[in-house]
Structure 1
Amino acid sequence: MPGPTTTPELAKVSSKEQEVFAEHDERTLETGGTADRKRLERKLLWKLDARFCLFIVLYILNYIDRNNTGAARLKGFEKDLGLVGQQFATVLSILYVGYILTQIPSNIIVQKTGRPSLWLPFCMLIWGGLSVATGAAKNFGQVLAIRILLGIAESAFFPGALMTLASWYTKRELGQRITLLYCGSLISNAFGPLIAAGILGRMEGAGGIRAWRWLFYIEGAITMAVAVISVFILPDFPHNSRGFSAEEKELAQLRMTEDVGMKDETTVSTWTALKIALGDYKLHLMSLTLTAMVVGLSFNAYFPTLTKTLGYSSEVSLLLCAPPFVWAAIVAYFVSRDSDKRQERYLHIVVPLVFGIVGAIIAMTCRKSFGASYFALFLLASSYAGFVVFYALVSSTFARPAMTRSISLAYVNAFSQLGNIAGSYVWQSKWGPSYAKSYGIVIAMFVATIIGLTVIRFDLVRLNKKLASRDEAEAKGQEHHGLSATDYPAGFRYTL
């Protein structure tokens, strides 16, 4: 199957690419060769990693402000707001309506302005304020409206952070950094309940205010404070970021050119990039596959409810949430690190999902055993390692041009949030405390994900064979009717 249609904007890449490499050859000779290059590259990566560490903190706050309703539920959130039936599930799911609709526009804004260091903190300041407002809600209608707006504000962060990371790190470096970023989510699932347990256990009635309201006030205020600080720390893109020397920015751009084999074109129009992205069948296939995975991972929002079924108090149940997700963060880090080292994605996604399936089976069949039930939660949490590696697969598959990469990452992430809307209704109270039907849905969704990943892998293998045949024909000076060298430069291969 032919690659995306070559556009006039993309046709300019080959000459620019030659200029970049020519300039690099001269600069290398002037500066003393590869030794200076390696020294400068180590310094660049150190500075990048130091600044990107803040993304982890921001993602922790992003998830805490999104999911603290699960902890608040244990201390009167539903009763005080008069929620009945499926209204709590609706409060959870409605957030993703705004979250889905605004991710692509947000990433376009970031790409157009070139200032994620300003846009992301601005959105963070807004969602922190909305979190505070949740604590002041009086009824179902008010909390529903706040959650819609919260989804809009929070939608900017994850795709924007992914896009920024993908602009600085090569394919061999990116997976591990995405994992470290997503560890912020896993850490929030581990320590968010611990923070909630402290607030809910100590603040009940303070100042005449319910503890669950204090939870939103305190955590929202922390988010707003960190948003202001992050403006001065977060980087922008390699060509315009503050805090880097001209030599470091040139090297950063060169690294990305060498990684893909073509310059990271930043002048492609939004409309052209949108047509390229949405016209690629691989984007829709990956979106559907990730959506199935997200439905399977829906236990995340209900984790305090699941630990409560083990028979302990609300405070102890919140404390029991921490160990499984600390374990998940460790597993995700090492799985992603190995995935980067081997440049292999498929098995590094599938194997954690298999462990998740085993965990769901144990949870369904060994409910009376505390040890088995709690071990099952560890296995379920471990499946997040596959989710993290999936994003590395998406980023390397839709590598260039920059605007297309931005739209693709936002589209896949936004579309997959349909899984969170559906997943909000997977853990219905009437199915508890065994939640056998819920675990059955998890198993079905993970199996569907594995099937989708298998189809994707076979397709990328097929495309890599066509790329290899084209490169061989060009090396021999023969004509070919394969994939365009503009869209797929010589030597480019999809990561499987």
Structure 2
Amino acid sequence: MSIDEKKKSESFTENVVTASNQDDSMLLTLDARKAGERALLRKLDRRLMPTAVVIYLLNYIDRVAITAARLQGLEADLGLSTVQYETVVAILYVTYSPAQIPSNMILSYISRPSLYIGACVVAWGLTSTLTGTTTNFAGIMACRIFIGLPEAAFYPGVMYLLSRWYTRKELAVRSAWFFAGLLISNAFGSLFAAAILANMQGKLGFAAWRWLFFIEGAITMFFGFLTMCASPSERRLAQVRLAEDAGEADKDADNLTIYDGLLLAIKDPKTIIFMFISCSQTLGLSFTNFFPTLTATLGFNTTDTLLMAAPPWVLAAALCVLNGWHADRTGERFFHIASWWWVVIAGYIISLSTMNTGGRYSSLFLMTAGFSGFALTLTWVSNAIPRPPAKRSVAMGLVNGIGNLGNVMGSYVWNSAWGPRYHQSMIITLCSLIISTTLGLLMRWILIKENKQMDMEEKKLMEGPGRERIEEAARLEGISFEEAMKRRKGFRYLY
């Protein structure tokens, strides 16, 4: 066994505590360590990931059910004007966006995050159900305001939890799988909505769009209660893996408060840049809240429109997972995010150029593909602002929270008065993606610069007595000096 391997084995022997004390004796060697890691990843991938994906699917089905309900008379039944409907769509983000910041601030200090997140899932499921009972503008506005509060805990909260379990080069594909739940929700949400709206009209005296909220809200509450029953895995092993991955423990100092984490995040220029990247990107992709409406411009009936809205999201989900897998394999971030913005821009250009049914429908596939990059945004934040965890948690909340202000703006950008062409809407969102690209390039340059600075600092340490120690270690291990240097290389940002 090499010196490096021996040190890892000894560190593991001293620090790793599994869920069952009977297993401790089996995890004292490097081989057992590797087996333990594989078992941990399998357990996380079997339990944590499917639960997160299903709930995220339900999250977006609940959130965008209002766009499907619009096609079946929601506006007429509640007496909503166009501006009132747009306000109903936008108001969710007024509470959803700022609430993410305090939610993520306290998440790292909660001993059972599954209880907290599960309770929030139940709360938004209940509020979604109550949306089906509303009779006027004030009632649906109240539901949309309050549904944003519990929903705020979910996406940035789960992304932060994933960053506590998976290493940098395992996180992208898991984030992509998680985000695929959102994309699939747009597909199956449309299919689910089509089935309800086509078959539930007048049942028990309720309009079909009301049944849409009743059924989807009830399913969400059921899975929320299941989430509360989630069991913890081998936390200590995960902490050791993350410490080795980043070169320091994934743990806050004892005297570090949640307010310190907020201050550290705000002071870091990378957080501010990521906030603007996320906001402009979200505005650029804000068509998602009006996707059934855009599909309706093809000229088909309600059921066919909802069915045709599904395939673009299925393709987007597949591309999302493939993109995340490749991002982990390469360790690259910017091009795995930004290149998909350029695909969306191509979709907008096609839609701006023609009203042909085939051309318009193909552009919808290009537009939804943009979420393949969106899925890795918080992954990149986690990689670029890794320590301390309190800072990372707040940064992720800030980036996603401020980013969703793009949805508030987007709620008014896709004005029905601009339909069916929506040329003004597409020009605005296209320009916002160009801004995202520019800021993304700036972030990439900053991270490359910081990596070079760390290279220079390490080079200084490797000169003189430091180099002699490395040469001696390389001789004892029977490896070249270059291989020994590679092993000594510390943490670097992924860009």
Superposed pair shares fold, TM > 0.5? yes
2:183 equivalent in structure 1: 186
The partner residue of 1:249 within 223, 230, 235 is: 235
Distance apart, 1:145 and its partner CA: 1.2
- Structure 1 residues 201 and 38, CA gap change in structure 2 (3 angstroms): same
1:457 equivalent in structure 2: 444
2:479 equivalent in structure 1: none
How many angstroms apart in 2 are the aligned matches of 1:21 and 1:250? Answer: 14
The superposition leaves residues 416-450 of structure 1 with CA deviations (integer Å, 9 ceiling, x where unpaired) of: 01100000011101100011111111211111111
How many angstroms apart in 1 are the aligned matches of 2:8 and 2:339? Answer: 41
Distance apart, 1:22 and its partner CA: 5.2
2:301 equivalent in structure 1: 313
Distance apart, 1:474 and its partner CA: 2.1
- Structure 1 residues 467 and 122, CA gap change in structure 2 (3 angstroms): same
The partner residue of 1:121 within 118, 125, 131 is: 118
Counterpart of 2:414 in 1: which secondary structure?
coil
Distance apart, 1:229 and its partner CA: 1.3
Matched ranges for 1:196-215 at <5 A:
196-215=193-212
2:458 equivalent in structure 1: 471
1:357 aligns with 2:354: no
Distance apart, 1:34 and its partner CA: 2.3
Instruction: Return the letter of the residue paired with 1:40.
Output: G
Distance apart, 1:25 and its partner CA: 5.8
Counterpart of 2:490 in 1: which secondary structure?
coil
Matched ranges for 1:385-396 at <5 A:
385-396=372-383
How many angstroms apart in 1 are the aligned matches of 2:288 and 2:111? Answer: 33
Counterpart of 1:493 in 2: which secondary structure?
coil
The partner residue of 1:338 within 311, 320, 326 is: 326
Structure 2 runs not aligned, ≥5 long: 1-6, 17-24, 467-487
How many angstroms apart in 2 are the aligned matches of 1:477 and 1:24? Answer: 31
Check the 8 A contact 2:279/2:406 in 1, yes or no. yes
1:33 aligns with 2:29: yes
- Structure 1 residues 27 and 401, CA gap change in structure 2 (3 angstroms): closer
2:273 equivalent in structure 1: 285
Counterpart of 2:81 in 1: which secondary structure?
coil
Counterpart of 2:250 in 1: which secondary structure?
coil
Instruction: Return the letter of the residue paired with 2:420.
Output: P
- Structure 1 residues 477 and 70, CA gap change in structure 2 (3 angstroms): farther
How many angstroms apart in 2 are the aligned matches of 1:275 and 1:73? Answer: 42
Normalising by structure 1, we get a TM-score of 0.89
Counterpart of 1:311 in 2: which secondary structure?
coil
1:44 equivalent in structure 2: 40
Distance apart, 1:166 and its partner CA: 0.4
Distance apart, 1:142 and its partner CA: 1.1
How many angstroms apart in 1 are the aligned matches of 2:351 and 2:127? Answer: 36
1:139 equivalent in structure 2: 136
1:14 equivalent in structure 2: none
The partner residue of 1:327 within 304, 312, 315 is: 315
2:251 equivalent in structure 1: 265
How many angstroms apart in 1 are the aligned matches of 2:101 and 2:464? Answer: 42
Instruction: Return the letter of the residue paired with 1:447.
Output: I
Q: CA RMSD in A?
A: 1.9
2:229 equivalent in structure 1: 232
Check the 8 A contact 1:362/1:373 in 2, yes or no. yes
The superposition leaves residues 190-234 of structure 1 with CA deviations (integer Å, 9 ceiling, x where unpaired) of: 11010000000000011111000010011101111111112112x
How many angstroms apart in 2 are the aligned matches of 1:123 and 1:270? Answer: 21
1:23 equivalent in structure 2: 11
Distance apart, 1:317 and its partner CA: 0.3
Distance apart, 1:24 and its partner CA: 2.3
Check the 8 A contact 1:20/1:254 in 2, yes or no. no
Distance apart, 1:289 and its partner CA: 1.0
1:61 equivalent in structure 2: 58
Instruction: Return the letter of the residue paired with 1:232.
Output: C
Count of residues in correspondence between the two structures: 457
Distance apart, 1:33 and its partner CA: 2.9
1:6 equivalent in structure 2: none
Distance apart, 1:467 and its partner CA: 0.9
Check the 8 A contact 1:257/1:263 in 2, yes or no. yes
Distance apart, 1:133 and its partner CA: 0.8
How many angstroms apart in 2 are the aligned matches of 1:38 and 1:213? Answer: 52
Instruction: Return the letter of the residue paired with 1:188.
Output: S
Distance apart, 1:114 and its partner CA: 2.5
Check the 8 A contact 1:261/1:490 in 2, yes or no. no
Distance apart, 1:85 and its partner CA: 3.0
- Structure 1 residues 413 and 453, CA gap change in structure 2 (3 angstroms): same
2:469 equivalent in structure 1: none
Distance apart, 1:20 and its partner CA: 9.2
How many angstroms apart in 2 are the aligned matches of 1:38 and 1:227? Answer: 34
Distance apart, 1:70 and its partner CA: 0.3
1:443 aligns with 2:443: no
1:219 aligns with 2:232: no
Instruction: Return the letter of the residue paired with 2:493.
Output: Y
